[in-house]
Structure 1
C-alpha cells in the first residue's frame, strides 16, 4: 500500500469550511487506497492569538517558553483535522512531536530535524488510521522545540523519506506560476519545476515552499505536488528527469525593498572582503549581490545588497567596526528592487543575460547591480520600475 504525506498550510485552517474541505481532500486520498500522514502547519493568525496575552512581556521571555507557546498552534491544527476526519467516519489520530518521534537539535526556536523514530506512526498506519502530526514541533533532550518558518513542509519531506512515501502533497494558497499573478495576470501555471528552479523561486520571495524544505527534498529525491485546496491542477517539484526542456526561462520573480550599501577604501591593501563579510555575518546581516570595483588611481569600492529590514543594523555594524575593517567611507542607495529570471536550461543556452539586458535597455530601466548563476540572472533596478521590468521580461521570454 502506498504512503502519501500531506502538508496542510495555515490557509486551509482559516475557517470551519476550509477545515472541512481539507478533511474531504484527505478522505479522498484514503479512499483511493493510500496510507495517509498529515502534517499540520498551524491555525490562522497564530502569532497574534497566541502571543496576545503576554505581548508586553515577550521581548524578555525565554526562548524555551516562546517555543512552547508557538508550537501549540500546529498541535491545535493537527487535533482539529483529526476530529474533522473522525466526524467523516475515519479512524484518525493526532500526534505531538514527541509522540511522532520527531527529534531535533537543541535550539528552542528554528530547530532543525535530526531524526524521526516512526514506530508509532507505522503502528497507527497499519491499524488503518489517518495520522495527523503537529508540524512545527520537535523534541530535543525531552524539551519541546519549535521548527519555525518552513518547519512543517520540511517535516513533511523528512517523513516522506523515513516512511518511503511516494510523494508529498502541499496544500497551499496556489500552485507555482511563471510569475506573480498579482502583477502579471497572464502568468501561466507550471505543470512541473525542478528542485533547483524551485530553490531559486523560494529564495527570491516565492512563499509557497520554504528553501529548507526544497533542499531536503532535493537531497532525498522526494517529489512534491503543490496545489490550492480548491483546484484540481497543481505543480510537481522534482528532479531533472522528464522536465520540459523547450523553455530556456521558466519564470520571473521579484523582491521589493532592496538597499545597496557601498564601502570605499583608499588603497587595495586595505580591502579585505573576508573581514567585511565575516563581520556582517556575525551580526546576522544577510548579504545578497556583491560587486567589487578596483581601478587604478581611484577609490576602491565594494557594493552589496541587503533587505531594507536590515538596513539600520547593517549601518550600525559598519560604523562600529570602521577602524577594524579599514574603509574610509560608506554610502547607500534605497528605493531599489531585485528582478530575476530563472530556468535550469539557461546553463546550456548562452545569450540569455544579453537578451535580458537588451530588453531592460529598450524599456529604459536602469540596472544597478547584476548577479548570475547557472540557472538565474538577477538585476537590481529602481523599485518604481520593478513591476514594469517583471512584465517586460515575462513578455520577452514568452512565458
Structure 2
C-alpha cells in the first residue's frame, strides 16, 4: 500500500524536501520498503496479496532501521503505511507460526520476541510516529500502529483483535491499550473480537484522527513536506485534513449498547461476566453468549486475566507478560486447532480442549503467566 507516492512526488520539482531521498530497499518487490525522504522515514508494508501480514523477515528489516533513524539527529518523523487497496496490516503471519509450532521450529520464539521488541520501540521511539491505517488493521497491524502518537483511520479501516477465535490472546501490547479504552470497551473487544470500522475507530479512542481514503496520498505528501515538525504541528495538520474530510454523521456503532457493555462486562472474573449476560437475558446478551461460546475457553480466561493485570502495568511490563503467555500458547492445543480451523482447513469448526469455560482450571491459567527461565525471558 505504498500508493506509488514517491514516483509522483519526484515529478514535482517545486518541493525541495523530496529531492533528498534514499531508498533503503533494493527492490520494489520487497515485503517491506524503507525510504528516507528528506528528514522523514517512510515504512511501507508491501505484501498486498497477504493483506500485508507481518512476518519475521519484515520485522527484522523494520526494527533496525527504526533504531538507525531514531539515532539520526536529522530525522524528524516516521510514517508507516501499507500497499494495496484492502489492508494496512491484517495481522501476523499466524499460519506460518502454527506450522512451525508443530515442527519445533524456533520461529515460535523468535517471531514473538522480535515482534514485541518492535512494538515496544514504536511506543517509545523519540520521533513522531504516524500510522496511516487505511484498511484492515488487526493483530500485528494494531501492534505496528496503536502505540505510536498518531493513528489515522479512513472509512476503509477495519479494526479488530480476533485472537480468541483462533485459540490465542490479544497480544502486541493489547494488555496495555485495551484496558485503557473507556469503560469496559477494551475487554468487550478483546473477548468477542468485535470489529470497528471507519470513524468508529476514532470514536472508540483507538485512532487519533480520520481522513477520507482518497486524501491519504495528499496527507502523506503534506506530512513529508513539513520542514521540522513538532507533535503539535503534526496534530494541527492531521486535524486540518480531518476537517476537510467527509465524515458520515452517525452515532458510534456501540452507542446504544455501551451501557450494557460497561455493566455486564464488569466483574472480577470471566465467570461473573457470563453470569451477568445470562441473568440479563436480553437479545443482545444472548448474542454475546453465543459469540463467546465459539471462542477458545482457555483464550477467554487468559484474556480476561491479562487485561486485569495490564490495567496497572507499563507497556514494557505488558509485553514481557505477553511473551510468557505466547510461549505457553505455542505448547497448547487450542492455538494450533484454531489456526487449523480458520486458516488451514477452513472448516470453522474448532474442537477446543477444554471445551467449556467451566472446565478450564484456574491453576492452569496462572501457569500461562509464570516467569520463564531467565534466558528465555523477553529483553526490552
Looking at secondary structure, tell me which structure has more helix per residue: 2
- Larger of the two Rg values belongs to structure: 1
TM-score (norm 1): 0.28
Looking at secondary structure, tell me which structure has more strand per residue: 1
Q: Which has the higher contact order (CA 8 A, sep 6+)?
A: 2
TM-score (norm 2): 0.29
